[in-house]
Amino acid sequence: MDTRRNFLQKMAVSAVVLPFLPLSGFSSVRKDPVPEGPLLRVAILGLGGYGGRVAEAMQSCKRARLVGLVSGTPEKLSTWGTRYNIPEKNRYNYENFDRIKDNPDIDVVYVITPNSLHHDHVIRAAKAGKHVISEKPMSLNAQMGQEMVDACKKAGVKLLVGYRMHFEPRTLEVVRMRKNGEFGKIMFFQGQCGFKIGDPTQWRLKKDMAGGGSLMDIGIYAINGARYMTGEDPVWVTAQETKTDPVKFREGVDETIQFQLGFPGGAVASCLSTYNMNNLDRFYLDGQKGFAEMQPSTGYGPIKGRTHKGELTQPVVTHQTAQMDAMAGIILHGEKPEVPVDGEEAVKDLKIIDAIYRACRTGQRQELKL
């Protein structure tokens, strides 16, 4: 499974080493694609492994451009600044980050830090008058997520979340077919998301930084996928946790969770999130007239899949390039994505996550009102 965090897990060293490699080792010279109207000017906050992936992908964007950097590591600011031609005045650390409010060169801040930091960083960016993109999960729980939504509304800025799959062509084809009734009445969804996590000292295995374990990291793909694949929000959830290594997966850090969702139209979902099994990256949607199967379903690509009508053959894209170009349209022109990516969408996922953890603790079905 090559999701964002799996990539980070496998490339743990790169989050530290990558920014310090000789510039000649990079193939990241700006390609300067022909702009399509106004450019969304983006500052990345958090220069780790995934921040690097986003920065690289943005070199091919037609509607968005990387213009700013925020990091607590001076060496990264220097190396990345040189690499991406970011002027000194557009480079910030976490202490002086609030001064970004006086910088007219930057439209939006993309927060790509550990989960526990999203809340503070998003609210600070909003108070500085900048639009915000937050990586997912948007925060540690639904209450904190709602505070982020409220802060952005109060500041009059947009809050989007890095749901890259919402812009992936083969995923969108399945969504289109479902909306057009080509699967008939939706009956069942299955989402399997997981990988065997490595370094036991990483932040993803620390509750105070991650907010949980596999569910917060990889399980959110199945949660969100269940919603956009069925086209409904669930009304109840049940869940069971399995832990085989309590040393690696300490209290509050889930190893494996199975959860079930019920939808108002009668469909049910059976999902699995794990940090202890590889080869799990599969969505399956079943309707009365047909089906869709995607494997891999949420990795960096290429996404592969088939339906009862045959193989999915839509173009293969770099997810982060497509995401950032689409988000430029949302922020600059008020365009509406096929699948929402706003803060309210993320709060719904956080409410489901909260309910799954409650179900694991109590053994009882949890009713949902999203």
Q: Give start and end residues of each alpha helix (H) in the chain.
A: 4-10, 14-17, 49-58, 74-83, 115-127, 142-155, 169-179, 207-210, 214, 220-230, 319-333, 343-362
Among the four given CATH numbers 3.30.420.40, 1.20.58.390, 3.30.360.10, 1.10.645.10, the one describing domain 165-367? 3.30.360.10
- pLDDT over 90 (residue 307): yes
Find the catalytic residue in 50, 163, 221, 275.
221
Residue 76 has φ and ψ, to the nearest 5°, of: -65, -45
Mean pLDDT of the chain: 92
Q: Which of 136, 158, 348, 351 is catalytic?
A: 136
How far is residue 160's CA from residue 152's CA, in Å, rounded to a whole number? 10
Residue 118 confidence (pLDDT): 98
Within the chain, all domains assigned CATH 3.30.360.10 are found at: 165-367
Is residue 228 among the annotated active site residues? Answer: no
* Range 4-163: architecture per CATH: 3-Layer(aba) Sandwich (3.40)
Whether the pTM exceeds 0.85: the reply is: yes
136 in active site = yes
pLDDT in tens, 253-278: 999 999 999 999 999 999 999 999 99
pLDDT in tens, 196-245: 999 999 999 999 999 999 999 999 999 999 999 999 999 999 999 999 99
Give the pLDDT confidence of 107-158 residue by residue, as tens digits.
999 999 999 999 999 999 999 999 999 999 999 999 999 999 999 999 999 9
| C-alpha count within 13 angstroms, C-beta hemisphere, residue 165 | 25
pLDDT in tens, 280-306: 999 999 999 999 999 999 999 899 999
Start-end ranges of CATH 3.40.50.720 in the chain? Answer: 4-163
Q: How far is CA 363 from the centre of its chain?
A: 29
State the DSSP code for 342. Answer: B
